[in-house]
């Protein structure tokens, strides 16, 4: 276990060094995570304003500001992108040396994920403050909601990372198909509540979103942080569901990984 930890921290140091080298580029990537929730906020607050009572599903302008401000932070901290990357690694043969190491490649991917989030903080935190200052979100959050919300963000990040990696393993069978990344991303937008608060969805879609893991990565932490979940038992139940989905994802990863590695044939060298 200590060997894994030592390798992991080595990967993390390497990852941060790489990210700092490409700081201009990672800022360009991070901007999308700011623009997208800002656009959604503009859309939904304008839509709410057009209604007679100025609200949609209990969200007024200030609540939409709080929701999408929380989503801006949660979306950045829980994001994962291996579905886009592994296909490329398999195609180019870069996966082969990773498989030879006595440590699972998922640890290196996790270190890369964390180093991106650590290095971009210096850029996104001021931007988050600027957005909050511009849109004046109405928060109704008590200390326990914030505390549990932070735990929910960590669990959401773990869940998204592992599940995204499981879906990425499809690349071992069809490395040319980039569709998986797009499908997963679309699911996060719609079922995760990044496009609209789940309470604003039509009933059938809201019901469908409850059956899937995506809302536990994005919508649940955001609603907890903005203070929309007022019942502590509901919050704890949510954390429990997050843990359950994480367990399912890890089991899925272990099962699929052993099959995928046997399936792997190196493409080029």
| Residue of the chain from 48, 95, 111, 163 that contacts another protein (CB under 8 A) | 48
Q: Read off the tokens for 65.
A: 């500001």
195 makes contact with another protein (CB under 8 A): yes
Residues ≥6 apart with Cβ < 8 Å to 195: 40, 189
CB of 36 to another protein, least distance (A): 6
Of these, 111, 190, 224, 225, which contacts another protein (CB under 8 A)?
Answer: 190
* Residue 189 vs 239, nearer CB to another protein: 189
Cross-strand bridge partners of residue 59: 56
Token pair 């996104």: residue: 124
Q: Is 267 in the site for another protein (CB under 8 A)?
A: no
Quick one: which of 8, 14, 18, 47 contacts another protein (CB under 8 A)? 47
Q: Which of 263, 225, 267 is nearest to 73 (CA)?
A: 225
Is position 141 an interface residue for another protein (rule: CB under 8 A)?
Answer: no
Q: Which stretch binds another protein (CB under 8 A): 60-68, 176-184, 246-254, 255-263?
A: 176-184
- Is 206 buried (19+), middle (13-18) or exposed (0-12) by CB count in 10 A? middle
Rounded Cα distance between 49 and 97, Å, is 56
Q: Which residues contact 205 (CB under 8 A, 6 or more apart)?
A: 190
Judged by CB under 8 A, the chain residues 56 through 75 that form the site for another protein are: 56-57
* Count of chain residues binding another protein (CB under 8 A): 34
User: Which one of 1, 2, 176, 265 is in contact with another protein (CB under 8 A)?
Assistant: 176
Contact pick of 36, 107, 117, 243 for another protein (by CB under 8 A):
36
* Coil vs helix vs strand at 213: coil
- Which residue's CB is nearer to another protein, number 13 or number 23? 23
Does 234 bind another protein (CB under 8 A)? Our answer is no
Residue 154 is a binding residue for another protein (CB under 8 A): no
Q: Following CA atoms 107, 108, 110, 112 in sequence, which dihedral angle do they give, to the nearest 10 degrees?
A: 170
Q: Helix, strand, or coil here: 155?
A: helix
Binding segment for another protein (CB under 8 A), chosen from 74-82, 92-100, 178-186, 228-236, is 178-186
Could you tell me which residues come within 8 angstroms of residue 91 by beta carbon, excluding any fewer than 6 positions away? 175, 176, 267
- Contact in structure between 155 and 243 (CB atoms under 8 Å): yes
Nearer to another protein, 59 or 253 (CB): 59
Binding site for another protein (CB under 8 A): 24-25, 28-29, 31-32, 35-36, 39, 42-44, 46-51, 56-57, 176-177, 179, 182-183, 186, 189-190, 195-196, 200-202, 205
């Amino acid at each position: 276990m200590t060997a894994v930890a030592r390798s992991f921290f080595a990967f993390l140091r390497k990852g941060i060094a790489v990210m700092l080298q490409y700081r201009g580029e990672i800022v360009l990537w991070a901007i999308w995570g700011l623009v997208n929730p800002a656009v959604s906020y503009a859309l939904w607050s304008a839509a709410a304003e057009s209604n007679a009572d100025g609200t949609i599903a209990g969200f007024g302008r200030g609540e939409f500001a709080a929701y999408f401000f929380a989503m801006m932070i949660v979306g950045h901290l829980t994001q994962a992108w291996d579905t886009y990357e592994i296909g490329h690694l398999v195609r180019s043969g870069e996966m082969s040396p990773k498989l030879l190491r006595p440590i699972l490649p998922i640890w290196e991917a996790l270190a890369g994920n964390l180093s991106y989030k650590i290095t971009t903080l210096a850029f996104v935190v001021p931007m988050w403050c600027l957005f909050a200052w511009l849109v004046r979100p109405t928060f109704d959050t008590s200390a326990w909601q914030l505390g549990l919300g932070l735990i929910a963000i960590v669990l959401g990040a773990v869940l998204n990372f592992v599940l995204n990696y499981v879906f990425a393993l499809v690349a071992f069978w069809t490395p040319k198909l980039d569709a998986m990344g797009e499908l997963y991303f679309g699911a996060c937008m719609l079922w995760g509540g990044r496009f609209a608060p789940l309470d604003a969805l039509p009933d059938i879609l809201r019901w469908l979103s409850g059956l899937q893991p995506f809302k536990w990565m994005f919508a649940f932490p955001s609603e907890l942080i903005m203070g929309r979940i007022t019942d502590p038992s509901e919050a704890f139940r949510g954390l429990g569901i997050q843990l359950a989905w994480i367990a399912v994802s890890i089991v899925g990863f272990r099962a699929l990984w052993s099959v995928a590695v046997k399936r792997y044939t190196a493409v080029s060298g």
